[in-house]
Amino acid sequence: MSVVASGAWGAERFGVDVPPKPAKGDTTAGNLFVGYTKTNGTRTTPPTPAFRSIPQKAFGIGERLVLSVRFMGIPCGELVMTVPETTVYRGRAVYKVQAHAYTNRAFSVIYAVSDTLTSYIDVEGMFPWRHEKEIHETKEDTIAVCEYDPVLGVWTKNGVQMGELEPYTQDLLSSFYYLRALDWAHLGETISMPLNDMKKNYDMLMTLGERRRMYSHALDAWVSAQAGIPVLQLDDKYKQIGTNEVWFTDDRRRIPILIRSHILLGTFYAKLVEYKPGRAP
């Protein structure tokens, strides 16, 4: 288990001294709930927020998902999603999860992609503390880091405070694992969550669609699968962006076996071709 150093806190606007970054191996120096000091020099009682608890059995350490991506039927690359470890962030146990999307050699001649997303997701509450984006594409080369402070209700990007934060806001990657962690059988027809895409905050709905039997070569079995259809709230109205579907196995693992996205230029498909289960959480 490693320890992740915290970055910018953006707490000075709230009358709180910014805590120091934790030294390597120190699991308490970056703890959000230890050592708070008001700017007048008097020490406050350390806050003890009651975070939610979402026990999950969908994924564990060591899980690896590989999806083969096709555009208009042409193989163009892969999406690899992994849960390499648990670590400590601001004194909290977190899952480190990563998604790496890249184009193959042939498609890279048209447009090259090598993008990596990393999220640090609270083990107990299934919400992100930190989100990293590293984009290397033909027309873009960007690195960005967002930190989410659920206690103060603010978020920062590259060390600059950006605005307020709704409780338990998800990032683009953590939302996927949060959805997998939930017990869909008791949630009705939709799942709602606040979402941050490193630019602004949204409200997102995941509409739970039909069920059907599908054969998965990666799982070497016919499985029952259920569709999830994401919808974003834009201009006070919920709108479906393009036509997107994610098909998950209809069991506690919620493994994504097919992602389908229709856009103006054509249709993307991402099909599960490799699944390595992780250790039970």
Report, as an integer, the average pLDDT of 90-111.
96
pLDDT at position 8 is 35
Residues 6+ apart with CB under 8 A from 214: 222, 223, 225, 247, 257, 258
Average pLDDT, the chain: 83
Quick one: pLDDT band at residue 266, thresholds 50, 70, 90?
Answer: confident
List Cβ<8 Å contacts ≥24 apart for 13-16.
Answer: 13/161, 14/152, 14/154, 15/39, 16/152
CA 117 and chain centroid, separation: 8
The amino acid occupying position 248 is F
| Rounded-to-integer distance, Cα 236 and Cα 225, Å | 31
What percent of the chain has a predicted confidence (pLDDT) above 70?
A: 77
pLDDT digits (tens, 9 = 90+) for 9-61: 333 333 333 333 333 333 333 334 333 333 444 444 445 568 999 999 999 99
Task: Kindly list the distances between the CA atom of residue 38 and the CA atoms of 19, 28, 43, 147, 153, in Å, as whole numbers in the listed order.
Answer: 11, 19, 6, 22, 18
> 3-state SS of 135-171?
EEECCEEEEEEEEEECCCCEEEECCEEEEECCCCCEC
Average pLDDT over residues 84-109: 96
Under DSSP, the state recorded for 257 is E
CB half-sphere exposure, 158, CA atoms < 13 A: 7
Q: Which tokens belong to 246?
A: 């994610």
pLDDT per position as a tens digit, 174-215: 999 999 999 887 767 889 999 999 999 989 888 898 899 999
The mean per-residue pLDDT over the stretch 94-112 comes to 96
- Both structure tokens of 169: 């806001």
Chain-centroid distance, C-alpha 182: 14
More confident residue, 30 or 121: 121
Q: What is the pLDDT of residue 185?
A: 77
Q: What separation in angstroms does the CA of 162 have from each of 94, 105, 186, 196, 202?
A: 23, 38, 35, 11, 14
Q: Quote the pLDDT of residue 138.
A: 94
List, in sequence order, the alpha helices (H) in the chain: 105-108, 174-181
State residue 68's pLDDT score: 97
Burial class (CB in 10 A: 0-12, 13-18, 19+), 4: middle
- 12 φ, ψ to 5°? -65, -25
Q: What is the pLDDT of residue 69?
A: 96
74-89 and 2-4 strand pairing: parallel
